[in-house]
Amino acid sequence: MAVKPDTLTPLVIGGHSIPPGATRQIELPVVRLYTDTDICMPVHVMRSRKPGPTMFVSAAVHGDELNGIEIVRRLIRMKSFKLTAGTLILVPIVNVYGVLNQSRYMPDRRDLNRCFPGSSKGSLAGIVAHKFMHEIVRHCQYGIDLHTGAIHRSNLPQIRANLKDDETLELAEAFGVTVLLNANLRDGSLRQAALEQDTRILLYEAGQALRYDELSIRAGVRGIQRVLSKLGMIRLKTPRAKVTPYVANNSSWVRASHSGLSTSKRNLGDYVQKGDVLARIGNPLGENFGSVVANKTGIIIGKQNIPLVQEGDAMFHIAFFSEEEEDIADNIQTMSTSLLGEMGQV
């Protein structure tokens, strides 16, 4: 794997110089609140004395996606975690404004992940995006961006990336989750902007907004360590249970056939066949309106949690594989059992 080493010269972020071998916590100033209160993006930098790649890990680009904050927090607190080469930049909260408001969006109602690369003279979201690109991403050859499902939706732990790029695919496989989704780039996304300056990105999706999910957190902590190990930045013992990754080149949402109250019949990670009933929808008086049915055979990688649905609501996200989906479902169960049963609380 080709790795572009850093030069082992001091790294400058927000005017702070971090020499090789140092660890620093930086408060990176962004735009003040209208109350004249300073707002800063927290940044934790770890540098080895040995040359190697530079990688960032970012969380809470959407302010209501909290799992990633806990993943980064656990990495920082992990006593056994030691960088042996290169530089690691950890940013637990990118959208500080959204976290303060428990909101996906910026105060200007923009989705920060549609505003990259941003501009120093643009909107509030554009300024934050530009700050992150200029102070963090431009230093890095690699990045992992941590996300969850949107409000009232859960995602199975999965990696989304440009899997047609051989090196990105290797890193995605190293992360150690069962489902890898070859995902198209979205205009204005961090992943698109980073790729344009030759920074390879893995996007980790797991859990739901405004909630911690232990499986998702543990899979994220372990996955980041595995990628760092693949890049030669840390030493990591071989895990007891190996997870086989499977690439899905397509996925689609199954939508509500009626408005009403839904009763889910299937869970994340389930193998479903075309025609299987995923949920039933009825009214408060007990009348059944109809069923939500799988349109193809595949694995459920995302689902709506709230039982109140409108006709047309996206309810189940199904990924399609060329391999036997039953084997994939078994592998997902193995991953879950391994992570929850063997990995202690950090």
Asked if 60 and 17 touch (Cβ cutoff 8 Å), the reply is no
Distance, CA of 345 to CA of 164 (rounded, Å): 35
Mean pLDDT for the chain?
93
Range of the domain at 170: 11-230
CA distance 230 to 204: 17
336: in domain: no
Same domain, 268 and 208: no
67 and 207 inside one domain = yes
Give the number of residues written for the chain.
Answer: 346
49 occurs within a structural domain: yes
255 shares a domain with 194: no
Where is average pLDDT lowest: 138-147, 230-239, 321-330? 321-330
Alpha-carbon distance 256 to 319, whole Å?
18
Domain annotation covers residue 275? yes
Q: For the residues 279-289, what does the mean pLDDT come to? A: 95
- pLDDT computed for residue 128 by the predictor: 98
b vs e for 266-286, b when ≥16 Cβ sit within 10 Å of the residue's Cβ?
A: bebbbbbeeeeebbbbeeeee
Amino acid symbol at 34: Y
Residues 122 and 205 in one domain: yes
Asked if residue 221 belongs to a domain, the reply is yes
Asked if residue 296 belongs to a domain, the reply is yes
Q: Let me know if residue 206 belongs to a domain.
A: yes
Clarify whether residues 196 and 260 are in a common domain.
no
Looking at the fold, whether 225 and 264 belong to one and the same domain comes out as no
Domain assignment of residue 101, yes or no: yes
Give the mean model confidence (pLDDT) for residues 78-91: 96
Read off the CATH number of the domain in which 32 is found: 3.40.630.10
Residue 75: predicted pLDDT? 97
Please report whether residue 5 resides in a domain.
no
- At residue 203, does pLDDT exceed 80? yes
> Are 62 and 171 members of one domain?
yes
Q: Among the three residues 199, 230, 261, which one is the final residue of a domain in this structure?
A: 230
pLDDT of residue 344: 46
Within this chain, do residues 97 and 214 fall inside the same structural domain, yes or no? yes
Domain count, the chain: 2
pLDDT exceeds cutoff 70 at 51: yes
Looking at the structure, tell me whether residues 257 and 294 fall in a common domain.
yes
Cβ-in-10-Å burial (0-12, 13-18, 19+) of 261 comes to middle
Q: Return d(Cα 231, Cα 44) in angstroms, integer.
A: 20
Chain mean position to CA 182: 14
Q: How far apart are CA 202 and CA 226, in angstroms?
A: 13
Nearest Cα to Cα of residue 168 among 146, 127, 201, 217: 201
DSSP SS3 for 241: coil
Judge if 84 and 196 occupy the same domain.
yes
